[in-house]
Structure 1
């Protein structure tokens, strides 16, 4: 990262290089230090940046010279059309929720919490310790660091009811994030051209992972309180599916949390059909007025395959997730995970473990709960004031998102474009449906940056919506 002084010198050097002819020699480091009044370290950092950008060439023992600008000729990639053939599916390659944004945009589209909601100091110190440990040069076991396996197992075991066997550390597989975990689960437990039941709407990444692995998606309507168990039972019977993907806690995008009664009914249906419940506990650390209650804690018969990621709650730089599975299913999943990634970086695992085992982690989560509540309530209030034609089926008890219903005649693509033109990014809800959307929705993230601008963002949505009905 460059500080202000480094940025200034880099800008001045870049301007000098742009005006100089190819092959011109840059002044020596000593001369640049004297000219700009900077330290040799700062000057060297700026020079290295110019080398990395291909603007100058360093010749050891001789000097640094301006590189000649190469004129790029256009290439014809048309041959690839025939070589690649038609894509396996037509789903968009870039999702709105993954877009990065400049600082002057009100970002209500993102899928990740703002930096100020992360335990940044814990993460930085954890990486510093991890890089000094054996994890920096060693190869970890394929299933993960034993200490991290034990932590995931202990977390789930702490909420396991009496009379049920809690998971063991050996039931845990550490994966490089939940997205790769979903692909692995679909390949290992379902297989190409076979059906998997999936909530609708649901996490777009799960839809993408299923499509990329060739799994057939069978949508199950899921509302503000979860799926209809009778519909789920019928779908199992009609399709012969052997797996159901769901998010029982603070679902993305609806925010729904299943009641204990619904959880028991769904588990009963899954057991009756000899099937798996793939439980994605993505928002475990984002409870606001309720705690996450994993269904995996209610099952010790191997029916629930449980996935919990630390990427959103700890840091986007720590793509680490824990998967809990029992019996032969666990062996199949581990075999596929090894084939895809061999193992997860020991440094990332060590850093994740360092963060979540610090007493300050629990302190951070308590503070996070209050921050998320304030942001959620601010955005809810702004939407009710400025977008009166919209409707929230429920205010979520946790998670990061609001699922906003708009009038059925809304042109969502036009709305998103008009909002972006006004400096507000929103995510149109179509990406969260595995089949045709059943309504017009926006998924709005209340954990994004600059919550003070939420009222302005809601006002822009309201104005863009009103413009469609004039």
Structure 2
């Protein structure tokens, strides 16, 4: 019998054991489990890791393994996704072609939307400081843990087999647990990162030429994906508490849109977190309009503390919210693993589109992701990343206040990778960005973050892609010099 099937049998046995225990109860030690079930220590380790990835157990180094808390399920009514039949009207999908692709009779077409200007950073000259990147510096990435996870995944006998279309069950269970609420693994579709999922969602839900409501400002990658799908982004203004529900209702009424894209947690570029009192309001407005709300939650692991509000999808039972998240930002640009949480007919449509686009996400990456998030090293990395981002954010904000006091920091973010800075009246963001580059600092001009006319001149300044705090301080000094030249 293979080690994989043996560990699978042990997982089944341990699930039966967990059913007899209460949350917080301690499992037998690894030695006791090897003796009781007559398996090797490696088999026990793999089985515990699989249960930890599902959220069934919690491992505490030096203490043992414990039964995880089992959240109660709401039973007041059954979910009702029948409204989606109206919202999806006019965006028909050929299920015949899907079936043919599933059985290999039709080649699958792979396409990637043009991401010009979305998050790509042009190569910088020697000595330049990166404040325009969308990913943390390699020093902030869990390189050793990633390498170890990939090595363990590669040793699995089925590592190079075809993956299920929806993704590996243990990985879907991980994302379901992160989403919370009543989300199950069956509600999860694994994607090749967040950007790929965005492209798929826009093409699947809205008809070409139709409107899609977006925050203003908004993540440029979403704007690019929407336009590549033939959609027309319509701005909905934000304030210091996030998207404005009153203006959102007006936008739905005026445009007839059936799709809203937003980032409620650590919004890119402003870092805003949607206020608690608005979170349910936003979902209610979308539900009343018979529309989908795409919740881009790819910044969830980028909080500067571990206190992060739950996703909107956790409280949604009728399929209004389509949740999008990813491991790419907190881990590595090349760990292209994300997930879409959806319920009802829209999930069946997304699975169908997966056959047309790419069939499935590469299994070795999925296996490596399962290995990574099931370890204590991952939790340790997230704690260290949170502390590092908090420190870098404070360092850059303080340095900017000294070097360019005329630049206004719109808010001090509690998460994310960037500061959103408003420039003085009469100063042009693109000109300022070009001047900064001449001084050896790459920053992002704010104009491209607006789906229509910008409300002012802004810069997005990243604090995660630089080598460290000293480089951020030097970058602020150079920006001060650039600002004085332009004044």
- Structure 1 unaligned residues grouped into runs of 5+: 1-90, 161-165
Is 2:122 aligned against 1:99? yes
User: 2:145 — aligned with what?
Assistant: 122
* TM-superposed deviation, 1:95: 4.8
User: 1:134 — aligned with what?
Assistant: 157
Is 2:209 aligned against 1:193? yes
In 2, Cα distance between the equivalents of 1:375 and 1:388? 18
Map Cα deviations across residues 120-140 of structure 1 (whole Å, 9 max, x no partner): 111001111122223432000
In 2, Cα distance between the equivalents of 1:96 and 1:351? 25
Is 2:301 aligned against 1:285? yes
* More displaced 10-residue stretch of structure 1: 110-119 or 458-467: 458-467
1:187–1:220 Cα change, 3 Å: same
- Structure 2 unaligned residues grouped into runs of 5+: 1-113
Out of 370, 375, 379, the residue aligned to residue 353 of structure 1 is: 370
Map Cα deviations across residues 326-363 of structure 1 (whole Å, 9 max, x no partner): 00011111111221111000001111111111112111
In 2, Cα distance between the equivalents of 1:198 and 1:189? 15
- Aligned residue for 1:410, secondary structure, equals coil
Contact 2:119 2:134 in 1 (8 A): no
User: 1:74 — aligned with what?
Assistant: none
Larger Rg: 1
In 1, Cα distance between the equivalents of 2:311 and 2:123? 31
In 2, Cα distance between the equivalents of 1:295 and 1:388? 37
* TM-superposed deviation, 1:221: 0.9
* TM-superposed deviation, 1:274: 1.5
Is 2:317 aligned against 1:294? no
- Aligned residue for 1:98, secondary structure, equals coil
* More displaced 10-residue stretch of structure 1: 291-300 or 110-119: 291-300
1:299–1:398 Cα change, 3 Å: same
- Aligned residue for 1:234, secondary structure, equals helix
User: 1:397 — aligned with what?
Assistant: 414
* More displaced 10-residue stretch of structure 1: 339-348 or 460-469: 460-469
User: 2:388 — aligned with what?
Assistant: 371
In 1, Cα distance between the equivalents of 2:120 and 2:398? 23
- How many aligned residue pairs are there? 372
Map residues 145-160 of structure 1 onto 2, 5 A cutoff: 145-157=168-180, 160=181
Is 2:270 aligned against 1:268? no
Contact 1:314 1:352 in 2 (8 A): no
Contact 2:193 2:336 in 1 (8 A): yes
In 2, Cα distance between the equivalents of 1:364 and 1:226? 29
In 1, Cα distance between the equivalents of 2:355 and 2:427? 46
In 1, Cα distance between the equivalents of 2:449 and 2:297? 17
In 2, Cα distance between the equivalents of 1:218 and 1:150? 35
* TM-superposed deviation, 1:407: 1.2
In 2, Cα distance between the equivalents of 1:270 and 1:250? 21
TM-score (norm 1): 0.77
Is 2:476 aligned against 1:453? no
In 2, Cα distance between the equivalents of 1:274 and 1:297? 19
1:135–1:417 Cα change, 3 Å: farther
1:287–1:129 Cα change, 3 Å: same
TM-score (norm 2): 0.74
1:300–1:96 Cα change, 3 Å: closer
Map residues 153-172 of structure 1 onto 2, 5 A cutoff: 153-157=176-180, 160=181, 166-172=182-188
Contact 2:165 2:361 in 1 (8 A): yes
Is 2:334 aligned against 1:311? no
Out of 453, 470, 482, the residue aligned to residue 436 of structure 1 is: 453
Contact 2:395 2:472 in 1 (8 A): yes
* TM-superposed deviation, 1:94: 4.2
In 1, Cα distance between the equivalents of 2:157 and 2:207? 38
In 2, Cα distance between the equivalents of 1:391 and 1:421? 22
Map Cα deviations across residues 352-381 of structure 1 (whole Å, 9 max, x no partner): 111111112111111111111110000000
User: 1:173 — aligned with what?
Assistant: 189
Contact 1:224 1:255 in 2 (8 A): no
Out of 215, 229, 239, the residue aligned to residue 213 of structure 1 is: 229
Map residues 218-233 of structure 1 onto 2, 5 A cutoff: 218-233=234-249
In 2, Cα distance between the equivalents of 1:326 and 1:425? 41
* TM-superposed deviation, 1:173: 0.3
In 1, Cα distance between the equivalents of 2:136 and 2:352? 33
Out of 351, 355, 360, the residue aligned to residue 343 of structure 1 is: 360
1:466–1:102 Cα change, 3 Å: closer
* TM-superposed deviation, 1:102: 5.3
Map Cα deviations across residues 184-225 of structure 1 (whole Å, 9 max, x no partner): 111111121111111010110000000000011111012332
Contact 1:97 1:427 in 2 (8 A): no
* TM-superposed deviation, 1:292: 4.1
In 2, Cα distance between the equivalents of 1:284 and 1:95? 20
In 2, Cα distance between the equivalents of 1:135 and 1:224? 49
In 2, Cα distance between the equivalents of 1:106 and 1:393? 23
